[in-house]
Amino acid sequence: MSQLKPSTSCISSNHQIHNSSHVFLQHHWKLFQSNISHPSRLSHFPSINCNLRDIRQRIATVKNAQKITEAMKLVAAAKVRRAQEAVVNGRPFSEALIDVIYSINQQCQLEDVDIPLTDIRPVKKVALVVISGERGLCGGFNNIILRKAETRIAELKNLGLDYTVISVGKKGNSYFLRRPSVSVDRFIEGEGFPSVKDSQVIADDVFSLFVSEEVDKVELLYTKFVSLVKSNPVIQTLLPLSAKGEVVDGNGNCVDANEDEFFRLTTKEGKLAVERDKLMRKKEGFLPNMEFEQDPVQILDALMPLYLNNQILRALQESLASELASRMNAMSNATDNALELQKDLSNAYNRQRQTKITNEILEIVAGAEALL
């Protein structure tokens, strides 16, 4: 009998160990269930009802999407710098050209000279040159300018005026093709950075419509580039030449900026950074006693096609810079959202994996108790 006492004490000690481990696991399991029963403690975790395999696949998919959006962001950031420099560098020439044409036009008015492109006649039909983007994935860039065009068309209809649209850009073309009620004169597409040839195609069409008196006014609808985070849709009166010699919108307000904020993309500590500069414009007026060696009519005939081409090229450059900046911001937001979603999925995966391990341990302990 004395030989059986040690074995009995060993069995009782093992039984106590199993009971203590079982109590420990039950205590932690109750704590885990109490956390689930109180959603306030896990309110920052999304409800994802998937098994572990599906969550792993979703994490891999989000990682691939995040790589794509990050690459598109870097590509847009590289292109927007070139487009921004083209916009800012082209503005002084454009404004100086308008000042020259205005001064010559004033001289011609004093001499009672008729210039077709400056002829102001009663407006019966308006041509709208709508410049949109060539691609998507740029936030609300295309929707804003197309909504602006729809608003302008509604205003012209309320005034009892006829209209026609010259659509520039693939997104605008597809938008107006789905709306046969909108009168479209021509669809124009472009690729890459705008060039003089691209603007010349639009200028020739606008010139023929205005000189043949098919339209009495030409308006240019595009997105004006302000900064990397801001752009404004504007309506610029292209023809006839405005009375004040300024680039004005449909309400007669000047859309030229006397002070431009120029943002330069740089790198700081291996990350993209932005530096801000301000460029001031100073306009110098022409002398009232200016004399022309040639006939002012000949000078205007030579400058007006250059004016049309320059203004349309400027609008194309402004629109492209705004599109690239909008795409860079949209892809940056998409990248941030992908990283946040990836973090939430990883947390959900770890919680489900922890739950599965806890259940397996409880089953092992319960099976060990059944054998005793």
Rounded distance between C-alpha atoms, residue 13 and residue 111, angstroms: 119
Rounded distance between C-alpha atoms, residue 143 and residue 141, angstroms: 6
Rounded distance between C-alpha atoms, residue 147 and residue 168, angstroms: 15
Q: Map 202-218 to HEC letters.
A: HHHHHHHHHHCCCCCEE
Task: Report the C-alpha dihedral over residues 353, 357, 358, 360, rounded to 10 degrees.
Answer: 140
Query: Quick count: other Cβ atoms within 10 Å of Cβ 317?
Result: 25
Active site includes 138?
yes
Rounded distance between C-alpha atoms, residue 168 and residue 221, angstroms: 10
- Of these residues, 10, 50, 138, 254, which one is catalytic? 138
Structure tokens at 237: 């009166």
Active site residues: 138
